[in-house]
Structure 1
Amino acid sequence: MANPIKSICIVGGGTTGWMAASLLSTVLQKADIKITVVESPDIATIGVGESTVPSIMDFLRACQINLQEFMVATSASFKLGIRFDDWLTPGKHFFHPFGRVGHEVNGFDFYQAWLKSCADGGATRLADHAPAAIMAESQRFMLRPQQSDSWVLNSYSYALHLDAIAVSCFLRELSQARGVKRIEATVDKALVDERNFITSLELNDGSLIESDFYIDCTGFKGLLIQDALNVGYEDWGEYLPCNRAVTVQTENTASLAPYTVATARDFGWTWKIPLQHRTGNGYVFSSRYCSDEEATDTLLEVVGGKLLGKPRVIPFTTGKRKKLWHNNCLALGLSSGFLEPLESTAIHLVYKSLVHFIKHFPDADFDSCNEQAFNKKIDADYREVRDFIILHYCTAGRANTEFWRWCKNMPVPESLREKIQSFRSRGQVDHSPSQFFSGDSWVSIFEGMNIRPEKYHPLMDAFDSVNISRMLQDNAKNIKDAVESMPMHDDFIRQNCVTNFK
């Protein structure tokens, strides 16, 4: 006999809280489950998760949100990937594109055919075979057609740059229109029973809120998952040295580039995120090697445009809660953990956690096996992202400061060590459908850091070198021709998604 839960209380608003409210109110609209968001007027949104990955499009579709309306409301621009400046050596850059890089050749990864072509004197760049990379270089953009016979038009993906505070406002309005109740108050503490289940929340006005399930979106503090339930935290600082970020917003000074820029600096890296109405900037750094004042000065030296506020320093501890779901509480966003935004995965991990939660949605019996299955899946997701970020540091070519010299000999998790060894040996990256970063993504970073396998797949020698070379040349030309017919990104935004932000 089913024993359904009847209520969910989300503690904390912001992007994370209202993403949870939006998706759950959509998916559970016929389930007769009351959803309440307790949002404090005294706690400011961090507001720096403004660069996303393509799963943001899945989130919008799942919430039945019109893309154009969302972009206008959030001053968004499109993102085709990330350009990494100065990571290999100063003055050099490479691109991590969204979507495919080439297509399979008789069942073999495209990269293997490209490696053979290089060994035979081939001249095309790997990026020449990634539609998103060529679109980014040309600063062109168009939405991918729903139906197309063109491999090129079917093979690029895109995400968004967006105003995080505007996203919160948009999703709050959407959620409330779909029946979500909002309470403006601050939670003083969570009350817990002898089973270590949360029974109620005590608000700052003295009132109590009772619910069957609670979602902790209270940021780094983890008011429910840590303060009340004490699940513990797994610190990954031994692998990822950066522990602070300084951020500032500036006026736009150039056309809207359809990509994020991540530039290596002496003690970390800076980001540049172009929105329609402003540019977001930040410097992620290690306090072991750099003071807040030095980091702030460095950021202010490299940003362009008039400052739109004062720089803000945000400390963080890289890692995750030992359990994201414990009893009748789920931690989301900063409450669940933090991985620096080098690959813009913060919003993705919120969405992925919600997808897993919906698949493992509990009843009021709270089966521990169900909870364990969820935690196992999301733990794997976090570790995948962690390893991918570490890859950028441990393969970087810089050695001009103590920070980067440390990175050259940094500890690497065994899971990543095996991947690197496999790639160095013969250019192969093991990948499963449940993983977010594709083999193409891994290859893009390896190649960008000038790491080339010792050899290609031996069966590639069965293919005619002339035919492979011709195929690669044709592939690159088809991409270039298709991209040249696309509108400029600025023009596409102006014609379809212009915002009313001042």
Structure 2
Amino acid sequence: MTGESPAPPITRVVIVGGGTAGWMTAAALSRLTAAGVSVTLVESDEIGTVGVGEATIPPLLDFNRSLGIDEDAFVRATQATFKLGIELVGWGRESDRYIHPFGTIGRDAEGVEFHQIWLRQSRLPGAAGDVGPIGDYSLATVAARMGRFARPSSDPAAVLSSLSYAFHFDAGLYARFLRGFAEDGGVTRIEGKIVAVEQDPASGFITAVKLEDGRAIGGELFVDCSGFRSMLLGGTLGVPYRSWQHWLPCDRAIAVPSARAGAAPPYTRATAGKAGWRWRIPLQHRVGNGHVYSSAHLSDAEAEQVLLEGLDGAPMAEPRRLRFVAGRRERLWDRNCVAIGLAAGFIEPLESTSIHLIQSGITRLMALFPDSGFAQREIDEYNRWLVREYEQVRDFVVLHYHATERDDSDFWNHCRTMPIPDSLAERIELWRGKARIFREQGDLFTEDSWIAVLMGQNVIPQSFDPLVHALPVAESARFLQHLRHVIARTAAAMPTHEDFIARHCAAVKQEAA
């Protein structure tokens, strides 16, 4: 066979920026050091990190496991608690409250999807229609309401196998934890403030970053983890930012930690307000709180007042204010630079996807890791996958705002009536007919996630799958009653969330200074 010789392998990788994105990337790339690749992370202590991603979703377990991280050690080191889902308060109507759970809802029967069976039965009169809310058939929802937690069973026949979970953790402690892992794996950290970026005059490829003290850190592949500044991809290579603010109007956030008041629930809470929403994230040592809002509908001072008045415990620091525009870079990989984290894009933290999108970028980079030839076809494939994932996550978050009956403020009137992406409009239309929902290739959120939010926000289908008629009504009623009972009994037998942590992974309490 004849052909061109393959390009030499990359031997120098430079990560610009620390924080969660930088150190997750460094931890994953540390495995390359055994093959002779130098991995260097450059960060400045003068530049703070955003750290809004204290709540996570289940795929993070795969990332930690891929690194060989002991889960209990990780939980202790990051003051973490467990998360079975997110409670959404006031999103459909002001009085509404539902949980978007992790794991599955119900169990299919005779090839018919569970939610179709539930829909048919819920519309029947008498005892057959007395099925209760759909959340009663989710172990994660029932356990979360009871304040209970256990890890899933590996036995697929067990109800406990239907459970999934994630974490709430201190993002700063997670970055520190991963820094130790990465440095132990051979990653070099350089402290310094970048003042210039050097490029090859012919190709525009980045060749080095220059520090304030005159040092130049050269590399062949550069990973931009510089946060909203997007120093390399946006600032140096000029890749434009595509705003989604017309669909996601919130552009401000205020964050403040507070003292714990009572037991930590195993779920995140997102409470909708007049012009946005407030998060509550319980950790072992404190509670993370924040207010995400639209500056066009609420002043910074009013937003801070709403946040502070809603705290369950005393504030432990001064509130931090953040500005952002929801959206993404047109390309997330350009030439020899890949942007990961906020440097690539930002979809507000409503469904805790920020850390997942970091993870997804890292996973795809490892799958398409280049040689020094930087094949354009591989770069295009990376961009195709990541852009699609950003857009799928965007649609799921936009759904929360658009699927509302609230008309108590200009903000909600805008969200309820605004045009939405065609891809989301098509999903909603298909659902409204016969409750059909299909997970697309690479879609982060499962059918159960879509069902939980659509039903939780009162998007009720006109009908249901005709195949349900093949199941006898009385038999379906007994099936639902039994399943509901088993789930309630299983949840009640689980340890409390607090007891589980105390038994397995309680952090060492820090003495007050």
TM-score greater than 0.5 by the shorter chain? yes
1:35-77: CA deviations, max 9, x gaps?
1111111111212210000011111101110001111010000
| Counterpart position of 1:67 | 71
Q: Provide the secondary structure at the position in 2 that maps to 1:436.
A: coil
- Note the C-alpha offset of 1:149: 4.8
Q: In structure 1, what residue type is equivalent to 2:244?
A: W
| Counterpart position of 1:9 | 14
**Any runs of at least 4 consecutive aligned residues in structure 1 with deviations exceeding 3 A, and if so which?**
none
- Note the C-alpha offset of 1:187: 1.2
- Note the C-alpha offset of 1:397: 2.1
Q: In structure 2, what residue type is equivalent to 1:109?
A: E
Q: Does 2:166 align with 1:159?
A: yes
CA–CA separation in structure 1 for the residues paired with 2:89 and 2:318? 25
| Counterpart position of 1:414 | 422
| Counterpart position of 1:263 | 271
| Counterpart position of 1:186 | 193
| Counterpart position of 1:340 | 348
Q: Provide the secondary structure at the position in 2 that maps to 1:90.
A: coil
CA spacing shift, 1:149–1:422, aligned 2, 3 Å: closer
Q: Is the 8 A contact 1:50 1:162 kept in 2?
A: yes
| Counterpart position of 2:155 | 148
- Note the C-alpha offset of 1:106: 2.0
- Note the C-alpha offset of 1:151: 3.4
The two structures, once aligned, show a CA RMSD in angstroms of 1.1
CA spacing shift, 1:228–1:341, aligned 2, 3 Å: same
Alignment of 1:398-413 (within 5 A): 398-413=406-421
CA–CA separation in structure 2 for the residues paired with 1:397 and 1:303? 26
1:241-286: CA deviations, max 9, x gaps?
1000011110001101000000000110000000000000000000
- Note the C-alpha offset of 1:443: 0.6
CA–CA separation in structure 1 for the residues paired with 2:51 and 2:344? 17
1:23 aligns with one of 28, 42, 46: 28
Alignment of 1:281-430 (within 5 A): 281-430=289-438
Q: Is the 8 A contact 2:131 2:480 kept in 1?
A: no
CA–CA separation in structure 2 for the residues paired with 1:122 and 1:61? 42
Q: In structure 1, what residue type is equivalent to 2:269?
A: V
Q: Is the 8 A contact 1:189 1:228 kept in 2?
A: no
Q: Is the 8 A contact 1:189 1:223 kept in 2?
A: no
Q: In structure 1, what residue type is equivalent to 2:285?
A: H
Q: Provide the secondary structure at the position in 2 that maps to 1:271.
A: strand
1:175-218: CA deviations, max 9, x gaps?
10010011011111211122121011111111111111000011
| Counterpart position of 2:43 | 39
CA–CA separation in structure 2 for the residues paired with 1:323 and 1:299? 35
Percent identity, aligned pairs only, is 39
CA–CA separation in structure 1 for the residues paired with 2:107 and 2:380? 38
CA–CA separation in structure 1 for the residues paired with 2:132 and 2:315? 41
Alignment of 1:101-180 (within 5 A): 101-120=105-124, 121-145=129-153, 147-180=154-187
Q: In structure 1, what residue type is equivalent to 2:183?
A: Q
- Note the C-alpha offset of 1:32: 2.0
Extract unaligned runs of 5+ from structure 2: none
- Note the C-alpha offset of 1:432: 2.8
Q: Is the 8 A contact 1:124 1:472 kept in 2?
A: no
Q: Is the 8 A contact 1:251 1:307 kept in 2?
A: yes
- Note the C-alpha offset of 1:110: 1.1
Q: Is the 8 A contact 2:199 2:206 kept in 1?
A: yes
CA–CA separation in structure 1 for the residues paired with 2:335 and 2:221? 9
CA–CA separation in structure 1 for the residues paired with 2:107 and 2:338? 40
1:323-368: CA deviations, max 9, x gaps?
1111110101110111000000000000011111111111110000
1:83-129: CA deviations, max 9, x gaps?
00111223320010001011222222211111111122242321111
Q: Provide the secondary structure at the position in 2 that maps to 1:69.
A: helix
CA–CA separation in structure 1 for the residues paired with 2:18 and 2:249? 30
Extract unaligned runs of 5+ from structure 1: none
CA–CA separation in structure 1 for the residues paired with 2:235 and 2:216? 18
1:123-171: CA deviations, max 9, x gaps?
23211111100110111001123x3254311111000000011111111
- Note the C-alpha offset of 1:29: 4.7
CA–CA separation in structure 2 for the residues paired with 1:381 and 1:196? 28
Q: In structure 2, what residue type is equivalent to 1:164?
A: A
Q: In structure 2, what residue type is equivalent to 1:112?
A: Q
Q: Provide the secondary structure at the position in 1 that maps to 2:40.
A: strand
CA spacing shift, 1:229–1:501, aligned 2, 3 Å: farther
Aligned length, in residue pairs: 500
Q: Is the 8 A contact 2:52 2:349 kept in 1?
A: no
CA–CA separation in structure 1 for the residues paired with 2:491 and 2:503? 18
